[in-house]
Amino acid sequence: MIIVMKPNSTAAEIGAVIASVQKMGASPHPIYGEERTVVAVVGETRRISPQAFMKMPGVERLTTISAPFKLASRESHPDDTVFQVGGYRIGGPEIIIMAGPCSVESRSQLLETAHAVKEAGAHILRGGAFKPRSSPYSFQGLGLKGLEILAEARETYNMPIITEVMTPDAVAMIAEYADILQIGARNMQNFGLLHAVGRIQRPVLLKRGMMNSMEELLMSAEYILSGGNYQVMLCERGIRTFEKYTRNTFDLNAVPILKQLSHLPVIADPSHATGRWDAVTPMARAAIAAGADGVIVEVHPRPEEALSDGPQSLKPERFAELVRQVKRIAQAMDRTVPEPIE
């Protein structure tokens, strides 16, 4: 249910509606727009009396939300969600590029990569400190040491950082270092983790599971939103099909459909979607043309030596070419790629 307030409703009138929703046992989520405020009502709504709310000052009308993902739906939030990370606006007309190695392997490797991607035009530095791997014998990341190296790179190159969080009890620690928390594909339905990141005010990149539908992705986002954290990005990173020539199949359909269904920013991950470096740039171009709000790309100075995901990692010079091509596509779509903040 959505309670639509009148354009001239006061803070006191909105507060009274919120208090009444809570008194009736449901959860109110006020959404403040430029012209008016709406209050999305989720949870136990059987005790909600539409007639009672229509009599309250400042209330214009009540509508129902047909989608199961109430807070992530455009029905509750018609305008695009836009928020800032390190001076960059995510979800607006600008295209944001996140880049860096799959794993933080050493201080020298990360600082070298950070310098290269910043020079090429990246805005946000990615790097895994804790790595969920299919094999228990594969490199699992440097852990806390990796977070410290990422923090050093942020200070050195003035780049916000994004890194993965795998368990609920690690959220607070990683949030001390990271500007954006990444929920990986394997954890998309780790509901304890979703609850944990929903309780903090830190932007979240939520990756679609390799065998999950778009609706399941949006329902996972709903867990985070319902906890009070509205800074959520959806990430399409490929799904598993019968095709063997790529690591996954990049579901390009998901980009425009998610943008239609939801107000949340959509980020494309062509690296994991394809698993091969020569397909990353073409798929990045396609994602921006389809309406993505940004891309997250794996870059390594020596992919043949990478401890994880070497085959899909771009060398710095290839990444620089990706940025140049993304800028041209963005211009054709009446969007821009901002210059990195010095």
Q: Do 2-63 and 83-332 have matching folds?
A: no
Q: Are strands 124-126 and 83-85 parallel, antiparallel or unpaired?
A: unpaired
pLDDT score at 244: 95
Question: Could you give the C-alpha distances from 95 to 13, 36, 90, 222, 332, in angstroms and in order?
Answer: 38, 27, 8, 24, 12
Cβ atoms of 98 and 124 within 8 Å: the answer is yes
pLDDT score at 183: 97
Helix (H, G, I), strand (E, B) or coil at 200: coil
pLDDT score at 135: 73
pLDDT score at 137: 62
pLDDT score at 187: 97
pLDDT tens-digit profile, the chain (342 residues): 899 999 999 999 999 999 999 988 888 999 887 778 999 998 877 778 888 889 999 999 998 888 999 999 999 898 999 999 999 999 999 999 999 999 999 999 999 999 999 999 999 999 999 877 667 767 677 899 999 999 999 999 999 999 999 999 999 999 999 999 999 999 999 999 999 999 999 999 999 999 999 999 999 999 999 999 999 999 999 999 999 999 999 999 999 999 999 999 999 999 999 999 999 999 999 999 999 999 999 999 999 999 989 999 999 999 999 999 999 999 999 999 999 999
Cα distance between residue 303 and residue 26, in whole Å: 51
Question: Within 10 Å of residue 305's Cβ, how many Cβ atoms?
Answer: 10
Q: Quick one: fold of 83-332?
A: TIM Barrel (3.20.20)
pLDDT score at 174: 95
pLDDT score at 145: 94
Per-domain boundaries in the chain = 2-63, 83-332
pLDDT score at 133: 64
Superfamily designation of domain 2-63: Phospho-2-dehydro-3-deoxyheptonate aldolase; domain 1 (3.30.70.1140)
Q: Are strands 83-85 and 88-90 parallel, antiparallel or unpaired?
A: antiparallel
Q: Crossing angle of helices 191-198/214-226, nearest 10°?
A: 40
Name which of 269, 267, 217 is nearest 248 in CA terms: 269
